[in-house]
Structure 1
């Protein structure tokens, strides 16, 4: 079992879902599924319909994504439209390859030439940022930190130590003045 992302119908990450290790791709997750069971409905035949009504597709409320989330995204969002376009391009490339292969096989062996090669399209970037730059800036702005009791007491202690140091300096200055005055007084008495 492995954990894969589960997204809502807009592609925004919801949570992780546990799936088989071989799971890959993008699969709809339907609201009528039992909690914790991944039962993929692929055709309308799997859904019971009242008699006389046209069968309709069950409505998916999320998707299970077998493609890892790109690291560094604040709010990952899976681009479902890009995935659908990529899947269509892969299908078209496979169809084109099958046609080219059939034509190639129809020629006699001495006239065939090189065997056609399947050229799959490059997978686009499917995980994108779901937040606007303004929302990201708001999230990453440093928040003012209120000092805790230890910080407050430490700050007060530093303030008191600075006051004591200033009083010592004033005391030394006044002591030097007193000594100076006493020396003057002694010199006046001796004269």
Structure 2
């Protein structure tokens, strides 16, 4: 067993799921269709089922996404499987296989002395199927540094530094006012002595 990605119908990664080791490619998975009820009560029509009709035992299914046997490329913020590129690759691979089969059939129809080397199948190059599902703006928003909140110790430390700065400012003010008082007292003494 191996884990492979599951994607929605837009190709966006949903989760991993376990599959057989031999699994490859992309196959759809299905979910039951949930009927929608009309929002206007006047639109509701009561249908009477004929007595000879049997109700359906199997619910209607729709494609809910795909199980993809191609590993996700690391480094993508929101991996998206390019379903259109996958379908185009499958079409190309099918036409290359058909061309090889035709060439091989022509080769094998020749007499053995005229055959030469058998044709060799060369699979087409597989394109990059996993792409980024986010826009550059969304990636920039995700990767922008977020302001960190201070923990309790850091907060208390910054408050303590702020209080020490306030105390130092008050000491400087006291010293300045003390110097002014001494200056005034000296002037007063000099006036009394004269």
TM-score by length of 1: 0.69
What is the CA–CA distance in structure 1 between the aligned matches of 2:61 and 2:122, rounded to whole Å? 34
Q: Which residue of 2 aligns with 1:121?
A: 124
Q: Which residue of 1 aligns with 2:76?
A: 73
Deviation, 1:154, is 1.7
State the Cα deviation string for residues 50-106 of structure 1 (Å, max 9, x = none): 99xxxxx95211100011111010100000010011111111111111100000011
Deviation, 1:113, is 1.9
Q: Which residue of 1 aligns with 2:50?
A: none
Structure 1 segment 16-31 matched on structure 2, within 5 A? 16-31=16-31
Q: Which residue of 1 aligns with 2:5?
A: 5
After superposition, the CA RMSD in angstroms is: 2.6
Deviation, 1:153, is 1.0
Of residues 134-143 and 148-157 in structure 1, the stretch that sits farther from structure 2 once superposed is 148-157
State the Cα deviation string for residues 147-180 of structure 1 (Å, max 9, x = none): 2221111223344566778899x7xx99xxxxxx
Structure 1 segment 89-104 matched on structure 2, within 5 A? 89-104=92-107
SS at match of 1:31: strand
Pair 1:147 & 2:150 matched: yes
What is the CA–CA distance in structure 2 between the aligned matches of 1:58 and 1:103, rounded to whole Å? 44
Unaligned runs of 5+ in 1: 33-49, 52-56, 175-191
What is the CA–CA distance in structure 1 between the aligned matches of 2:168 and 2:132, rounded to whole Å? 55
Pair 1:109 & 2:109 matched: no
What is the CA–CA distance in structure 2 between the aligned matches of 1:60 and 1:89, rounded to whole Å? 24
State the Cα deviation string for residues 32-52 of structure 1 (Å, max 9, x = none): 4xxxxxxxxxxxxxxxxx99x
1:152/1:96 Cα in 2 relative to 1: closer, same or farther (>3 Å)?
same
Q: Which residue of 2 aligns with 1:84?
A: 87
Unaligned runs of 5+ in 2: 33-52, 55-59, 177-194
SS at match of 1:115: coil
TM-score by length of 2: 0.68
